[in-house]
Structure 1
């Protein structure tokens, strides 16, 4: 029987003494044991800890309300459907590299009958000028902060404000795909409430960045929240109990939000050090968040094998998840400089990088 490569990789990471990219994987037992579980009754169809989480998110974002969803895909669909139902327009403006196009199987189109208009195909979010230049009316403009599949890139605060003003000028709603909005604040230089205040609705994730086990929220007006609760039920998201997801999300907000500025600052140190490795390229430089892309001139399989060997034999996790970059001879991965990376100096990164590349086979 063949060993599952994913389980082998996670086991190797869990056993490592040092981790550069990513978080140490925790078992289900570890996750639940770490929770401060109250003696109260668990949530029943969305009350209790779920309500507490919704109130916490609404307060952080400065919105009238927030609604918990089991998945971000469901929350995004509801946000776009709300705009379409209110305006009667079935077109929405989003980026071809957006999460909805790349990772949600175009659910907005397949289940809600909406149609995408692309303001730009450049590897960045649309500008105000591009939004104003749309050739047809749209009900919602969606911006992903950061745009993950372009390299976790963010606009400047002024550019974001111009995009928001342009969206209002064309009579559309602005929806922020803020799955990783938590880590966008340092680059933009404004708080969560100021950022959310530019938009009509915001989706946030609880397992990305803050370390919850699952779940998301859609935040905005009380009208949006009432609509979202109806459609959450229709989509099958009115789950009987979700207290583990809610409690880990609340714990993550307490634990991770204060640390994120340190992660973002340290990501710049890590990126600068990685850029000195032979043939390496990082993007963006400096990183906009605590995540960025790294390219190396080797085959993806050889780099993944080297990462696993370094982990299993030396208890050091460097970087995994390598894939072909679409450029001959180059492979790409995403680096996440989270809590474990804070212990790494620039010299540590360079030294471990040399040992990692020393395990890559010749001619790879």
Structure 2
């Protein structure tokens, strides 16, 4: 932001997004504590239309009750023998990869350098779990079968992030995915899916969630990234692996006394958001195409929508401006017009280029192509005004035809 502390900037952004009349996505962080708890209890009560659990039941203690019910529901949804709830995905994946290292006798994990453990976990795989990593490819996509076969050292586990978030939420085709899994098997390796966003992969892959999960030896899924839960994750796979993972979960400090708010919100997400994800994925393609056409019409000197079309309901947008300028334009657009087209922007290579992630969810379904084009024109005008040192021209939100 151009002024104030980072905390002040965050509060300003949240206030702008919260008050926006039109947005592509309503993030859970836009609610207050009281609002979130009240909405959760009202929506999740078994006596309501969307109810998922009897709120007169006792709270959980060390993973029983509602947590155990969530684990059963996840295993049933993914078609696996069992599932274990974890407070974080970082812990779930470390436990999974550590268990497989013990079973295969090989502590090397083959994964993409842009995968979550390599970029966002502070080297935890090696520092905490004693694992090594190798990279079959550095291209901005998942590795191919040939790249897995050509990996120059043995590995016990191949980890595939589906979709690969930092490369633009990209996915392989179904045939490519099955070929990669087969290549790992040829090397006597097990396969683990980092499925933090696995829930929305089915439309692109053209298969059901159980069919996708069946390819791997284990799968991790997140509850808050796509399903809108408060927090939490699950590790799913064979019953013997999940039983071992529960032991390691305790050793890693993940055997929490009570977790019923997170579990309840996860059950609600499975019930309410999961069935709608294909709808979000389809509309994300409409939004992405309109964004590209809008940038072209506005004369933006260079841009990228990646991938085009999107593989899931999330994708990246790249623009040749500084992140601070882009974020300021996005916040001002929300504040002055009630339209939140983009959220926060971040600097990335090459220098002078910034990237943002676009999510299309329930709120985004109201946007027509015309709405997107109008919002892009307004946003681009703000960029040009800020670059010239003039105040941007603000316009009100344009209604859908």
| TM norm structure 2 | 0.88
Q: Secondary structure at the match of 2:71?
A: helix
1:21 positional shift? 4.9
Q: RMSD across aligned C-alpha pairs, in angstroms?
A: 1.4
Select the residue among 13, 16, 23 that pairs with 1:19.
Answer: 23
C-alpha displacement of 1:179? 0.1
Task: Report the alpha carbon displacement of residue 96 of structure 1 after superposing the two structures with TM.
Answer: 0.5
Aligned residue pairs total 364
1:306 matches 2:323:
no
The 1-side partners of 2:243 and 2:350 are apart by: 48
Residue 353 of structure 2 corresponds to residue 323 of structure 1: no
93-102 vs 309-318, which moves further: 309-318
- Unmatched tracts of structure 2, length 5 or more: 46-54, 390-401
Please say if 1:355 is aligned against 2:378: yes
Aligned partners of 1:53 and 1:11: how far apart in 2? 33
C-alpha contact (below 8 Å) 2:25/2:362 kept by paired residues? no
Stretches of 4+ aligned residues off by more than 6 angstroms: none
User: Contact conserved, 2:81 with 2:237, CA < 8 A, in 1?
Assistant: yes
Provide structure 1 residue ranges, at least 5 long, that are not aligned to the other structure: none
Q: CA deviation at 1:326?
A: 1.9
Out of 214-223 and 100-109, give the one that drifted further. Answer: 100-109
Q: How does 1:283-302 map to 2 (within 5 A)?
A: 283-302=306-325
Tell me the distance in 2 between the aligned counterparts of 1:15 and 1:70.
31
SS of match in other structure, 1:342: helix
Structure 2 equivalent of residue 114 of structure 1: 131
Contact 1:119 1:131 in 2 (8 A): yes
Cα shift readout 1:229-265 (whole Å, capped 9, x = no counterpart): 1000000000000000000000011111111111111
Q: Are 1:28 and 2:33 an aligned pair?
A: yes
Q: 2:220 matched to which residue of 1?
A: 203
CA deviation profile, 1:206-225 (whole Å, cap 9, x unmatched): 00000000000000001111
Aligned to 2:12: 8
Hey, what does 1:152 align to over in structure 2? Answer: 169
Deviation string, structure 1 residues 317-354 (Cα, Å, up to 9, x no partner):
11021122323443211111111111011110010111
Distance 1:163 1:31 in 2: 41
Q: Partners of 1:119 and 1:325 in 2: how far apart?
A: 23
Shifted more, 277-286 versus 216-225: the winner is: 277-286
Q: Matched residues in 2 for 1:363 and 1:105: separation?
A: 40
Measure the CA separation in 1 of the matches of 2:321 and 2:145.
39
